[in-house]
Chain A
Amino acid sequence: MTDVMSNRARGVRWRGPVAGLIRTAGGIGAVGVKELRGRMRGRRAFVILTIYLLLLGGFAWMVELLMERNASSGFGSSTYAGASIGQGIFAALLMLETLQVVFLAPSATAGAISLEREKQTLELLVVTPISSIAIVLGKLLSALVYVWLLIAASLPLTAVVFVYGGVAPDDVLRGYIVLIVTALGLGSFGLLCSSLVRRTQAATAITIFGVLVISIGSVFLLAFWGVMTTHDNNDGNGPVRGTAPQEIGYLNPFLAQVDVLCGTETSFGGWCSLESSLLPNQNGVVFVGGGGGPVIAPVAPVAVPNGKGIFIGPQGQAVANDVAVAPDAAPFGIVRDGFWPRSVAAWLVLSIVFLVLSVQFVSPTRRWRLRGRGHRQDGPA
């Protein structure tokens, strides 16, 4: 017999609010270490990382070849061919990584809590002094660490675009901020589904459905709304008045990346065109002209509509009696950083909301319960 019981467990005793934070951090660490031991054990994680980078590299190489052929067979000057190749590779990599994050982040968290319920291990966990916040954050961060690792590992590959030009380091930074925050937001969404639904299969299905609604549904709705407001045979107005609210697109990380990519364009290119067609009234991209479509504005600042019926003067001041001012009037009337920061902010706010809800649903003695669910879960002995 050992002396295990004669030694009182020397758990650290903390007091006060700082102590609460330290305890929560300790709990996050405990859950995180446990999760990462499972995820990173052996060669599996690193083999996947290697394959991922090889595929991403192969993809970038193919895009480079395509862009090169396009540039050499096109008309006009080839002075900016390098820049357009760089922009093309950057756009392709960024969109592919966004696609990867959009599906990988929520998938990594969709089973985090429901698997614990299915395996009947959650009770063992929640009966320890570890807080529900620590459980939720530990699960989220350990799942996202791997997604963020994939994102970080792709950075050197993305940096290849600097060889060609056309993309500045701050463009890459913007794109990666969107990626990281999107991973956080969608990871939190997956975690919420996982804490709400008992079965992992159902939680994953709901999560993927939500992702499809966010990524495809929002674009479809914006396009549909746009058509309904602008196309009509008689008076030029559609059956719906006004324009589609850009808030619909806030949660679409692809649109946020379109905004980032639009910022790299030195002329009114494909990404800006796509953005203006889906988000005609957003503040981020401002075009001069109208009617038949966007017209490239001269370099000198001119009065431009900002989408709220307010005109921005040549010096950037609001001409009308309102307060809106274009933050950074770039050449060709494009105002940078108008849309994606809102998308990022929306995801940050939503992440907090999702996490607060997840904590509630993980807590064994929570006060908010879905009708009928508690009975099934905590059936009488």
Chain B
Amino acid sequence: MTAIVRTEGLFKRYGRTLAVAGIDLAIDEGEIFGLVGPNGAGKTTTLRMLATLLRPSAGDAEIDGWSVTRNPDQVRRVLGFMPDVFGVYDDMKVWEYLDFFARCYGLPAAARRRMITDLLELVDLAPRRDDYVQTLSRGMEQRLCLAHALVHDPKVLLLDEPASGLDPRARVELRELLRELRALGKTILISSHILPELEELCTSLAIVDQGKVLAQGRVTDIERRLRFGSVLRVRLLVEGEALVAARDRLAGDVDVASATILEDGTIELGFRGDDAASARLLAESVAAGLPIVSFARAASDLEELFLQVTAPDRQPLEAA
């Protein structure tokens, strides 16, 4: 695999504020790469530098082999950018909007006509072709903006908080659309401060905070590398004293740091072990005769991890 997006020591300084403090990223072709971090972490600044909208204070970035500082024109031809906040032109129809951007990329008339039809179908806006852009809903505008970023068939898509302000249905539709684009061979770099948004979608992640990459790699690798402890939830078919005895039995395991009975009768375990250790614990518990109904890792594990590594009083981590 070759990295189609690569940044080396990317810095951006605004007066005394260091917005991006040496970010190194390597994104392979065909990936959906998530840039996740709290507000003010430097995600948007990083994306804007990659999109040639900002000049880095130091360092450089390459997209498809072109430098964002030395070859911005070539970079613009291989990437499509969707900013976090964007507006639409008044007095413009949906097809005219796409036609305008296609003209900006120098597409001939015949190719423009074909492209507009295809893209409107792709983003499910074909029935709104002749409507004015300002009459579209927020979700539709978002899809139109994504379509505008695709008019020149770019290799790389930079999407800054694409799901912000969307209702749940629109989020699901957007996610499906991005999966479709990945299947078409696009490399997608997507930023968000909401981890669950990216967790299911992305193949790789970088967690950024205070302008630095705290962790980077495959989602499963990051979890494994940075896990300080996870939460297991065990549901049993017993109540009362039997439940307390079961909790004490589980608390005695070498990898269990804490065991608490929740209000709904579920036992929550603070667990230090890995997947193999949790499998062992389950097997031993069943063998010991505990009537286990469900045994699972807490759903938003990576989010808890994210909160841990981006906490204000966190210990410095070695970036992956």
Q: Is A37 an interface residue (CB 8 A)?
A: yes
Taken together as a complex, chains A and B put the C-alpha atoms of A125 and B89 apart, in Å, by 11
For window 39-55 of B, CB contacts with A under 8 Å fall at 39-48, 51-55
Q: How many residues of B contact A (CB 8 A)?
A: 63
Give A130's nearest chain B residue, CB to CB: B104
The verdict on A3 contacting chain B, using a C-beta distance below 8 Å, is: yes
Q: In angstroms, how far is the closest chain A Cβ from the Cβ of B164?
A: 13
Which residue in A29, A119, A129 is a CB contact (below 8 Å) of B89?
Answer: A119
Which A residues between 116 and 142 are near B, CB-CB below 8 angstroms?
Answer: 118-121, 123-130
CB distance from A5 to the nearest CB of B (A): 4
Contact present for B122 and A128 (CB under 8 Å): no
> Is B77 engaged at the interface, CB distance under 8 Å to the other chain?
yes
Chain B residues with Cβ below 8 Å from A7 are: 111, 114-115, 118, 153
Q: Give the Cβ gap from B162 to chain A, nearest Cβ, in Å.
A: 14
| B303 close to chain A: CB less than 8 A | no
Contact call A124/B46, Cβ cutoff below 8 A: no
A5-B153, A7-B153, A124-B148 as given contacts; A380 in contact with B17, CB under 8 Å: yes
Knowing A8-B153, A124-B86, say if A37 contacts B92 (CB, 8 Å).
yes
Q: Does A323 contact B (CB under 8 A)?
A: no
Q: Is B81 an interface residue, CB under 8 A from the partner?
A: yes
Q: Does A23 contact B (CB under 8 A)?
A: yes
- A4 interface residue, CB < 8 Å from B? yes
**Cβ-closest chain B residue relative to A381:** B44
Contact with B along A17-28 (1 / 0, CB 8 A): 000000100110
Interface residues of B in 129-174 (CB under 8 A from A): 145, 148, 150-153
Chain B proximity of A34: nearest CB distance (Å)? 4
Judge whether B106 is part of the interface by a CB distance below 8 angstroms.
Answer: yes
Residues in A with CB closer than 8 Å to B45 are: 378, 380-381
Q: Say yes or no: A120 contacts B85, CB within 8 Å.
A: yes
Task: Verify if A308 is at the interface (C-beta below 8 Å from B).
Answer: no
Cβ < 8 Å to B, chain A residues 358-381: 364-365, 374-375, 378-381
A10 to B152, CA, bound (A): 8
Say whether A11 contacts B51, CB under 8 Å.
Answer: no
The answer to whether B19 and A34 have CB atoms under 8 Å apart is: no
- A30, B54: Cβ atoms closer than 8 Å: no
Given contacts A34-B92, A378-B48, contact A364 B53 (CB under 8 A): yes
Measured CB to CB, the closest approach of chain B to A155, in angstroms, equals 29
Task: Name the B residues within 8 Å of A130 (CB-CB).
Answer: 104
Q: Does A2 contact B (CB under 8 A)?
A: yes
B118 near A3: Cβ-Cβ < 8 Å: yes
B90 at interface, CB cutoff 8 A: yes
Give CA–CA (A248, B185) in the complex, Å: 63
B96 close to A (CB within 8 Å)? yes
CA–CA, A98 and B222, complex, Å: 69
Whether a CB of chain B sits under 8 angstroms from the CB of A43 is no
Determine if A37 and B91 form an interchain contact, defined as CB atoms under 8 angstroms apart.
yes
User: Which B residues lie within 8 Å of A380 (CB)?
Assistant: 12, 14, 17, 19-20, 40, 42, 44-45
Residues of A within 8 A of B245 (CB): none
A9: interface (CB < 8 Å): yes
Answer whether residue A153 sits at the interface, using C-beta atoms and an 8 A cutoff.
Answer: no
Chain B CB within 8 A of A15 CB: no
Asked if B105 and A11 sit within 8 Å, CB to CB, the answer is: yes
- Bound together, the chains give a CA A27 to CA B83 distance in angstroms of 22
Would you call B54 and A2 a contact (CB within 8 A)?
A: no
Query: Which A residue's beta carbon lies closest to that of B111?
Result: A10
Q: Which residue of B lies closest to A117 (CB)?
A: B87
| Chain B positions near chain A (C-beta within 8 angstroms) | 12, 14-15, 17, 19-20, 39-48, 51-55, 72-73, 76-77, 81, 83, 85-92, 96, 100-101, 103-108, 111, 114-115, 117-119, 121-122, 145, 148, 150-153, 180-181, 184-186
The interface of chain A, by Cβ under 8 A from chain B, is 1-12, 23, 26-27, 29-30, 33-34, 37-38, 41, 118-121, 123-130, 364-365, 374-375, 378-381
5 shortest interchain CB distances as A-B pairs: A381-B44, A4-B118, A380-B19, A30-B103, A119-B87
- A-B CB contact pairs (8 Å), 13 listed: A4-B121, A4-B150, A9-B153, A34-B100, A37-B92, A41-B91, A120-B85, A126-B53, A364-B53, A378-B53, A380-B14, A380-B44, A381-B43
Additional pairs, 9, CB under 8 Å, beyond known A11-B107, A34-B100, A365-B53 = A4-B153, A6-B184, A7-B153, A10-B111, A121-B88, A126-B53, A129-B73, A374-B14, A378-B14
